[in-house]
Amino acid sequence: KSQVPDLPAKEISPSYDWFQTESLVTIVIYTKQKDMDSESVIVDYQDGCFRAEIVIKDYSYLLHTELSHEIQEDITVHVAEKTGKVEIVLKKKDNVSWKYLGHPLENHNSFTTHRETGLYYRKCQLISKVDVTHDTKLYCLMLPPGTHLQVPIGHHVYLKQTVTGTEIVKPYTPVLETLHSNLKESLHPNNKYIYIMIKIYHTGLFTPYFNCLQIGDCVSLSNPEGTFKKSQLQELEELFLVAAGTGFTPMIKILNYALTNITNLRKVKLMFFNKTEGDILWRNQLEQLADKERRFEVEFVLSEPTCEWTGKQGRISLPLLSEFVKRSLEDSRVLICICGPALFTEQGIRLLKDLNFSQEEVHGFTA
Ligand code: FAD
Ligand code: NAD
């Protein structure tokens, strides 16, 4: 099953090899791909079972084996971006020589489409929950010690919980712990923590139950999915983010990444649609960022404001968008990201087309 029949001819299945020293076992995967990075490698080790999924475009290469000996839980992943060589280093629990790597488990050494591979879940522990607004909280989940998983910018994961005997699965977009860059690395400096901002709907199928989880309880979290590519941000000069409600969540990492990594970027503007002032997520943080970062501007638009609101009002419309997404130079390289309720996003994409932005210049986050 290592070669899929409908695989484009140039996509050759990766292969693997392994070697050992007295204390380490190194698994080497030759992906024969350029542009591989550590986000493409997802590793899980639990109860003696080792699973590594290497994501290559629409395909996954899988290693899945019951290891012949026990290992320690801190697994290291190295990716040589130029050659596509992936090294997964396992620390032996006992310094003995291994005769073989392990017993193959389901789909070991296979190269199949994501759809065929399916979503893999691991149990994560709830570490903290902090109020963001009256109905939205920031949850911190800790990956198990044997897991290596990084969620790419603009991608989402699925959370799965059993509610009264039925499994419920919903997608969520991991965010940063905070927009304050000086705090960014400090509290939890490694990749073991995933932050998720979730709005609780009292009549919802999933969120009221998720919100009942106590600190220390576990929830299943999937591998990431999504179509956004970091490369869409390269060479960018102006970035426009159009968000409604929790549609703000993908914008958080995009905003942070663009301001920190894109050298030619002149401007990042966020237009943030909400019902009321009390619904605005991270309002203080956004205003503070706009104060200290001259390239960043934020505009709040309310659909149900009180009479004291002096800012912009209404829902997404041609006049609001055309005023907001103006290029500062005629040939500026721009990207417009849009996310919110499905009808909001669909309408926004239509209006941006009417405003003559090309398909490549608009990224809509849809289900
Ligand atoms: P649901 O049962 O889906 O109900 C939601 C609300 O709609 C409730 O008030 C319910 O009463 C009402 N409702 C349900 N059905 C109907 C109907 N037929 N007619 C009228 N009203 C109805 N959410 C976040 O909070 N944070 C995120 O980071 C996030 N990321 C996402 C990423 C993606 C790719 C997608 C597609 C969605 C994302 N969402 C996010 C939304 C999330 O997946 C859930 O849809 C949301 O949490 C609601 O789930 P629920 O089961 O609690 O509510
Ligand atoms: P909300 O109901 O509080 O509405 C926020 C704003 O969205 C409103 O003030 C209004 O301006 C606008 N809006 C709402 N319905 C609209 C409609 N029918 N047409 C035009 N504009 C409309 O929003 P919420 O409860 O926070 O919901 C956020 C939505 O974003 C959810 O549906 C969620 O699934 C979606 N979401 C999607 C992704 C993704 O990646 N696809 C990520 C996060 C959230």
Task: Give the chain's domains with CATH numbers.
Answer: 15-117 (2.60.40.790), 121-222 (2.40.30.10), 230-364 (3.40.50.80)
Q: Which ligand is nearest to the CA of 321?
A: 2
Q: Is the CB of 274 under 6 A from ligand 2?
A: yes
Model pLDDT for residues 223-245, shown as the tens digit of each residue: 999 999 999 999 999 999 999 99
| pLDDT band, very low/low/confident/very high, at 117 (cuts 50, 70, 90) | confident
Q: What is the mean pLDDT of the chain?
A: 93
C-beta atoms surrounding 315 within 10 Å: 13
- Pocket probe for ligand 2: among 275, 283, 306, the residue whose CB has the most ligand atoms within 8 Å is 275
Q: Whose CA is nearest to atom 5 of ligand 1?
A: 204
Enter the tokens of residue 23: 């204390």
Which numbered atom of ligand 1 lies nearest the CA of 196? Answer: 28
Q: Whose CA is nearest to atom 26 of ligand 2?
A: 245
Which numbered atom of ligand 2 lies nearest the CA of 304? Answer: 9
Model pLDDT for residues 212-223, shown as the tens digit of each residue: 999 999 999 999
| pLDDT band, very low/low/confident/very high, at 20 (cuts 50, 70, 90) | very high
User: Is it the case that residue 188 has pLDDT exceeding 60?
Assistant: no
Interface predicted TM-score (ipTM): 0.97
User: Is it the case that residue 326 has pLDDT exceeding 50?
Assistant: yes
Model pLDDT for residues 92-113, shown as the tens digit of each residue: 999 999 999 999 999 999 999 9
Which numbered atom of ligand 1 lies nearest the CA of 210? Answer: 52
Can you tell me the mean pLDDT for 160-168?
95
User: Is it the case that residue 9 has pLDDT exceeding 50?
Assistant: no
**Percent of residues, the chain, with pLDDT higher than 90:** 87
3-state secondary structure of 62: strand
State the Cα–Cα distance between residues 109 and 119, nearest whole angstrom.
Answer: 17
Can you tell me the mean pLDDT for 330-339?
95
Model pLDDT for residues 271-291, shown as the tens digit of each residue: 999 999 999 999 999 999 999
For residue 193, the model assigns a pLDDT of: 96
Q: What is the pTM of this model?
A: 0.95
For residue 191, the model assigns a pLDDT of: 82
Sign of the CA dihedral 161, 166, 167, 173? Answer: negative
User: Is it the case that residue 346 has pLDDT exceeding 80?
Assistant: yes
Place of tokens 């697994």: 75
| pLDDT band, very low/low/confident/very high, at 190 (cuts 50, 70, 90) | low
State the Cα–Cα distance between residues 322 and 126, nearest whole angstrom.
Answer: 42
Model pLDDT for residues 41-74, shown as the tens digit of each residue: 999 999 999 999 999 988 999 999 999 999 999 9
C-beta atoms surrounding 91 within 10 Å: 13
Strand partners, 196: 139
User: Is it the case that residue 128 has pLDDT exceeding 50?
Assistant: yes
Q: Which ligand is nearest to the CA of 364?
A: 2
Is residue 40 classed exposed, middle or buried when 0-12, 13-18 and 19+ CB atoms within 10 A define those classes? buried
- Pocket probe for ligand 2: among 303, 312, 337, 351, the residue whose CB has the most ligand atoms within 8 Å is 303
